[in-house]
A and B are shown apart, each in its own frame.
Chain A
């Protein structure tokens, strides 16, 4: 039985010096066979397992993770959540996720610290202004909250932005999605893990997949560092390593894995109470609850699995940050890191069946997967349980690269990829 977190449990455990808290999830050894196995214990994978158990009564399932849960891109992103995408298919997908975020802490009984502080996207040239106005209209037609702001309104909403007309890339306006914001990335993985574990899901860490066993066109199981696991359904949610798993099954994917960097500053008092993104100069910044500025840089253009990235990418981002926010000129950066993002040619994800029966892929989220975590898990669980996509992820099938029916969010998605 899982104990509920509440103010009473906090007081009770304080009396015993916090030494008797129940384990949030077990540390099981893998069974011989499961009804389904999810490869990858990040937010998306754990959410998939959670919804498989909760909505589709599949409790005899496992999540296998080569490292520790939430240790990949889930713990490396800049935690921005928004749904202001241009195309109908994307708007449907990302707003589905945003709606789940709004009540996720209550549902999981785990504080994911979802904070609807708003996300503002800046326009720096005439084309930006036109694109952002078009996107605002498209968002509103899809029932997504969006407003276009003038330069004065941008300044009013976030006073520390330099809106002087004589900077290299002046702020000509911006858009604001008030329902957007941030969440605590680790808590999302931990909350879903705890919830899935309570429903009987085995979360197996330090268990790397080494091969996928096929019988003709069907999946029979997976070879792992903890032995062979028999299963008829394998859902791969391996982000930057999706191609590595696909190659094991003899499947080719339209992905390239590239390093994407982020960095945080020393903690300071509250100075920026929203998220500001700029496509043209590629700078985005928010402030964590600890007080650190959280800054996202761009991707390198070459394939690499090193989780490092090039110095000049960070330098370019910081140049842009300093021009937009002169107040940050003496801030010191504490940490910098990279994650490996799997990018599709159309910059949209793949949540799909494959030509191999029982093998499903959830990948291609590229530079912006965190925001979709709950929706991605929900829709991927639906796809695995029913062997058919939900109507919200039908457009994000693997076959779109054959049919040509791409969801081209490159440049339209509010950040450069």
Chain B
């Protein structure tokens, strides 16, 4: 359990949020030309990193907006939060 700093509402209890999985998985631009392998990669395969991971979160019981988070999954420490469409922090 931890606090999350929603970029729209400020710091709230994690209970108000819904995790949306790995971030920056782009929907295929030409879905009709995709092979089964590429579909599997897009739909199912995940990095599932132990360490710093980029992910999407939704303030489900608040403003209901989506945003991105950089979080260390080995200790749940939140490194950065940025809005959808913004460039992910580098380092």
Contacts and interface: CB of A to CB of B under 8 A. Distances in A.
Given A241-B50, A244-B50, A256-B21, A402 B15 contact: no
A254 B76 contact: no
A301 B73 CA distance: 13
A303 to B, nearest CB: 5
A306 interface: yes
B55 A303 contact: yes
Interface string B50-64: 100101000000000
Interface string A287-305: 0000000000000111111
B1 A254 contact: no
B13 to A, nearest CB: 9
Contact of A303 (B14, B18, B53): B53
A310 interface: yes
Given A303-B53, A306-B74, A402-B37, A253 B1 contact: no
Contacts of A243: 46-50
A283 B2 CA distance: 24
Given A301-B19, A401-B40, A256 B46 contact: yes
A401 B36 CA distance: 9
Contact of B36 (A252, A255, A402): A402
Given A311-B1, A312-B1, A312-B15, A306 B76 contact: yes
A225 B41 CA distance: 32
Contacts of A247: 47, 49
B45 A304 contact: no
A310 B39 CA distance: 33
Contacts of A306: 73-76
Interface string A336-370: 00000010010000000000000000000000000
Interface in A239-289: 241, 243-244, 247, 252-257
A402 B45 CA distance: 10
Contact of B48 (A256, A311, A402): A256
A215 interface: no
A252 B74 contact: no
Contacts of A241: 50
B15 A255 contact: no
B43 to A, nearest CB: 8
B19 A252 contact: no
A254 B36 contact: no
Interface residues of A, number: 27
B76 A301 contact: no
A244 to B, nearest CB: 5
Given A254-B44, A305-B73, A310 B14 contact: yes
Contact of A252 (B47, B53, B76): B47
Contacts of B21: 256, 303
Contacts of A6: none
A247 B51 CA distance: 12
B60 to A, nearest CB: 10
B73 A303 contact: yes
Contact of B45 (A254, A303, A311): A254
A403 interface: yes
B50 A305 contact: yes
Given A241-B50, A303-B55, A310 B37 contact: no
Interface string A84-114: 0000000000000000000000000000000
Interface string B70-90: 010111100000000000000
B46 A255 contact: yes
A401 B39 CA distance: 9
Contact of A310 (B1, B40, B43, B73): B1
Residue among B48, B50, B76 with most chain A CB within 10 A: B48
A244 B1 CA distance: 23
Contacts of B73: 257, 303-306
B2 to A, nearest CB: 8
B50 A345 contact: no
B4 to A, nearest CB: 10
A401 B40 CA distance: 6
Contacts of A305: 50, 73-74
Given A255-B46, A300-B19, A345-B44, 13 more contacts: A243-B47, A252-B46, A256-B48, A257-B50, A302-B19, A303-B21, A303-B48, A303-B55, A304-B73, A308-B76, A310-B15, A402-B39, A404-B36
A-B pairs, top 9 by smallest CB distance, nearest first, are A302-B19, A243-B48, A254-B44, A252-B45, A402-B40, A310-B1, A401-B44, A301-B19, A401-B40
8 contacts: A243-B46, A253-B48, A254-B40, A254-B44, A256-B48, A257-B50, A306-B75, A311-B1
